[in-house]
């Protein structure tokens, strides 16, 4: 086969792969949009059926000091007496027009609440994910390199123990050790109480929550990489490469690492919901100024404009993350077909 023919074949495979990726994206969008609509409708219906009164959440302690007439007036003003269908259609119409609504809990537009808190949540989630992937990949490869060794047993044992510990327990233990006993890091918040926030101070406050979030997501990644890398090391292509005298680093890069990356990427996409839930718990424990506190507050007070937007957005992020993981899967492994 001459060079021109080989180049044509490679170009043809790349074209087919791009076509498969575009088809995958199109199919996902077709069912993602209806899914988000159903989820938002279900949220409003459940809120309507809830025994909690949103007026109580809005007034707080002032509720007991207001008369029945005042309560009726406030309810009508805030349109809390709408049925779930009317409330949902009004909210959906506002969102489609670019207005995310007004948060009763924070007395400010939903867009302002999200813009103020989203960067902090993205910073924490991204940091935790990077830590989890780095520890899972490095620990899994080292454990697979010498199966049955001390490193292998310790890595597998720690992964099992970490998987069994709830994130909030791990967070509390980290606060006790890292902040109270050793005094190395702040116990909570994202910026110093006195003085301006800088990249250094934010990073200092980020260490403990990012560590907890990363550790909570590491076990399954490490165990998966360990299993796949162990199988790859025992495969005939790796044994043949070693017998031919191929450098060990080249064997790892060419055979072991790709075999470990494919399931790792897929697992990261599958476990994105757990990452979001873990971020909520970690943010609450460390008083991190992200969207977790807003989500909890909006759920407690039935602040539907804010709660609906955060719920739908979280679901959309999970679906987008899963799609990106599948796309990366297709790019990494040319043997995989884009069949849902």
334 inside domain? no
Cα–Cα separations (whole angstroms), residue 243 to 98, 206, 209, 232, 314: 63, 47, 46, 15, 50
SS (H, E, C) 69-137: HHHHHHHHHCCCCCCHHHHHHHHHHHHHCCCCCEECCCCEEHHHHHHHHHHHHHHHHHHHHHHHHHHHH
Please give the tally of structural domains in the chain: 1
Q: What is the pLDDT of residue 225?
A: 84
What is the domain range of residue 219? 111-301
In a domain, 59, yes or no: no
User: CATH number for the domain including 218?
Assistant: 1.10.3720.10
| Nearest partner of 219 among 146, 160, 138, 142, judged by Cα | 160
pLDDT at position 340 is 47
> pLDDT at position 9, please?
57
Evaluate whether residue 137 is within a structural domain.
yes
The answer to whether position 241 is within a domain reads yes
Q: Is residue 320 part of a domain?
A: no
Question: Does the predicted model carry a pTM greater than 0.85?
Answer: no
Report the pLDDT value the prediction gives residue 38, as an integer from 0 to 100: 92
Run means of pLDDT, 10 residues per run, the chain, 340 residues: 56 71 82 89 82 64 65 64 79 86 85 89 88 88 82 84 81 86 83 73 89 88 84 77 73 74 73 74 85 83 86 84 75 59
pLDDT of residue 1: 47
Identify whether 66 is part of a domain: no
Note whether residue 97 is domain-resident.
Answer: no
Residues linked to residue 219 through DSSP beta bridges, in sequence order: none
In a domain, 243, yes or no: yes
């Amino acid at each position: 086969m001459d060079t021109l023919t080989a180049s044509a074949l490679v170009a043809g495979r790349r074209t087919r792969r791009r076509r498969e990726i575009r088809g995958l994206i199109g199919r996902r969008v077709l069912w993602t949009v209806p899914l988000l609509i159903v989820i938002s409708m279900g949220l409003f219906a459940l809120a309507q059926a809830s025994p909690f009164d949103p007026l109580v959440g809005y007034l707080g302690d002032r509720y007991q000091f207001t008369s029945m007439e005042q309560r009726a007036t406030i309810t009508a003003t805030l349109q809390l007496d709408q049925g779930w269908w009317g409330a949902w259609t009004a909210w959906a119409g506002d969102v489609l027009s670019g207005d995310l609504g007004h948060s009763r809990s924070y007395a400010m537009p939903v867009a302002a609440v999200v813009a103020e808190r989203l960067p902090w949540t993205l910073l924490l989630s991204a940091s935790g994910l990077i830590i989890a992937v780095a520890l899972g990949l490095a620990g899994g490869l080292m454990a697979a390199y010498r199966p049955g060794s001390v490193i292998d047993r310790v890595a597998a044992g720690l992964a099992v123990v970490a998987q069994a510990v709830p994130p909030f327990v791990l967070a509390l233990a980290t606060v006790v050790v890292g902040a109270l006993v050793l005094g190395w890091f702040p116990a909570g918040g994202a910026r110093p109480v006195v003085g301006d926030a800088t990249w250094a101070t934010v990073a200092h406050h980020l260490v403990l929550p990012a560590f907890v979030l990363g550790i909570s997501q590491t076990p399954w990644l490490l165990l998966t990489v360990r299993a796949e890398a162990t199988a790859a090391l025992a495969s005939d292509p790796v044994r043949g490469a070693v017998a031919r005298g191929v450098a060990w680093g080249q064997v790892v890069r060419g055979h072991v690492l790709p075999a470990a990356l494919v399931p790792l990427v897929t697992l990261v996409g599958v476990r994105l919901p757990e990452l979001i839930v873990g971020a909520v718990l970690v943010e609450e424990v460390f008083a991190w100024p992200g969207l977790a506190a807003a989500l909890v507050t909006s759920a407690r007070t039935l602040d539907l404009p804010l709660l609906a937007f955060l719920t739908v957005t979280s679901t959309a992020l999970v679906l987008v993350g899963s799609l990106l993981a599948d796309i990366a899967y297709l790019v990494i492994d040319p043997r995989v077909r884009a069949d849902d």
